[in-house]
């Protein structure tokens, strides 16, 4: 049942339910830790065992052979390959615009400061495959890594019961530039990339979305990750000028992701709120993933209030996806959102697949402190200093004074010896 209520009349419990989207990490930490330890200890044997247990698949070769990838490229419908390439081109162009570059300049006479960018050596990209296959996630995780210059990108994705990976996912990984594809999913995949096995190399960082088990594994495995990413969510700010059918379609689209996905509309228009509710009820019967959508819409809300209240609620919610359909330009007042979609013709679906922006985004309010996946996730940044004699002389007294105030006389002497 969708919650329909003025923002000002939300109870403490209702507000807490909407704002505190617990990912349930604490509930699964035990079994996740057990799997991580088993894979760390037993390597490929553990991967085969857990793949049989959780995916009901026997896998002899853990890594997908190149011949299988070639066969997938031939088997996928040519029109779908065209769409994958088109999306990949847009994603690559967007992320090329993000790339940080080396720089150095003189900040004071004799003091040159700069930044050195170094791509990571190896990255693991997790591509889910539970309730559906996600070739788009292969594009979103691999392309920015390769654009950033990562040496090796390993894709881990769960196999079907027959032990094979969805051909469309294999095609997407190939088009994106993945160096290797491994047919392992779940916590065991995170463990394999974090610790390395006989087949899977240890990586410097793990990126990509997943369920609560995968997210928990990423957070406790001890390897650098992108950010926590749980069930998907959208918040829509819309006024009376917005199309109710557009909004209803976008809320339903979000709901089909997962039973725990969240769809929220905040609007100053009570009339629009009622229209959207009727549109959702009318459209539900035609949806394929009906059971998932109905369950997900139990988390949905349609809230009314002033535009100021709507913006304030959105900033507290810090949504993964934020859609704005208002006559007034409010973008400057938005503080926290993973990805922002402005106007009636910018649905979340565009960013999910082909506009070029990345769909791997922080959820559950983590947009307050994390950015969506971008090329900076795949590099390290080293500061660089070139200091001439006159430059050191200009700051020597400050260095000596502060070092001695901290009781670090050797630091001070390291400067004094250069002044003599």
Cβ atoms of residues 139 and 172 within 8 Å: yes
The annotated binding site for Zn(2+) is made up of 254, 257, 352, 411
Tell me the binding residues. 126, 188, 211, 232, 254, 257, 321, 352, 406, 411
Tokens (6 digits) for 282? 């009318």
Selecting among 95, 233, 279, 321, the annotated active-site residue is 321
What is the rounded distance in angstroms from the CA atom of residue 295 to the CA atom of residue 85?
A: 34
> Of 320, 323, 359, 377, which one is the catalytic site residue?
320
Beta bridge partners of 112: 106, 386
**Binding site for NAD(+): which residues?**
126, 188, 211
Q: What is the rounded CA–CA span in Å between residue 73 and residue 85?
A: 12
336 is catalytic: no
Is 404 annotated as catalytic?
A: no
CA–CA distances in Å: residue 110 to residues 243, 380, 382? 60, 26, 20
Q: How many CB atoms lie within 10 A of CB 420?
A: 4
Q: Is 175 helix (H, G, I), strand (E, B) or coil?
A: helix
Rounded CA separation 166/156 (Å): 12
Q: Are residues 152 and 411 in contact, defined by beta-carbon separation less than 8 angstroms?
A: no
Alpha carbon separation from 159 to 57, 181, 199, 203 (Å, rounded): 7, 11, 16, 21
Known binding residues for substrate = 232, 254, 257, 321, 352, 406, 411
How many other β-carbons are positioned within 10 Å of the β-carbon of residue 293? 24
Contact present, 54 and 152 (Cβ < 8 Å): no
What sections of 56-148 are H helices per DSSP?
Answer: 66-75, 78-96, 135-148
Known catalytic residues are 320-321
């Amino acid at each position: 049942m969708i919650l329909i209520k003025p923002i000002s009349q939300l109870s403490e419990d209702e507000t807490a339910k909407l704002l505190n989207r617990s990912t349930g990490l604490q509930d699964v930490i035990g079994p996740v830790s057990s799997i991580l330890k088993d894979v760390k200890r037993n390597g490929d044997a553990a991967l085969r065992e857990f793949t049989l247990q959780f995916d009901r698949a026997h896998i002899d070769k853990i890594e997908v052979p190149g011949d299988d990838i070639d066969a997938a490229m031939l088997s996928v419908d040519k029109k779908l390959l065209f769409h994958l390439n088109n999306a990949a081109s847009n994603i690559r162009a967007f992320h090329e615009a993000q790339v940080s570059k080396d720089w150095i300049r003189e900040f004071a006479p004799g003091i040159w400061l700069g930044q050195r960018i170094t791509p990571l050596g190896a990255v693991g990209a997790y591509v889910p495959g539970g309730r559906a296959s996600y070739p788009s996630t292969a594009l979103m995780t691999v392309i920015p890594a390769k654009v950033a210059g990562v040496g090796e990108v390993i894709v881990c994705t769960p196999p079907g019961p027959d032990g094979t990976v969805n051909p469309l996912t294999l095609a997407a990984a190939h088009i994106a530039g993945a160096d290797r594809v491994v047919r392992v999913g779940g916590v065991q995949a995170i463990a394999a990339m974090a610790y390395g096995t006989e087949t899977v190399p240890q990586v410097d960082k793990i990126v990509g979305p997943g369920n609560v088990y995968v997210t928990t594994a990423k957070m406790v495995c001890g390897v650098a990750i992108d950010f926590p990413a749980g069930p998907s969510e959208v918040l829509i700010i819309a006024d009376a000028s917005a199309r109710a059918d557009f909004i209803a379609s976008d809320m339903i689209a979000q709901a089909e992701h997962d039973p725990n996905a969240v769809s929220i509309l905040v609007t100053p228009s009570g009339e629009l709120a009622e229209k959207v509710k009727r549109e959702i009820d009318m459209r539900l019967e035609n949806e394929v993933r009906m059971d998932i959508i109905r369950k997900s819409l139990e988390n949905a809300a349609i809230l009314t209030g002033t535009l100021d209240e709507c913006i304030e609620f959105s900033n507290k919610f810090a949504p993964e996806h934020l859609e704005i359909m208002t006559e007034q330009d409010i973008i400057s007042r938005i503080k926290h959102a993973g990805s922002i979609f402005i106007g009636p013709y910018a649905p979340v679906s565009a960013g999910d697949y082909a506009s070029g922006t990345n769909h791997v985004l922080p959820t559950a309010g983590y947009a307050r402190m994390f950015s969506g996946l971008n090329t900076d996730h795949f590099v390290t940044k080293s500061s660089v200093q070139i200091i001439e004699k006159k430059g050191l002389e200009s700051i020597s007294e400050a260095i000596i004074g502060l070092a001695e105030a901290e009781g670090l006389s050797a630091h001070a002497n390291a400067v004094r010896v250069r002044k003599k």
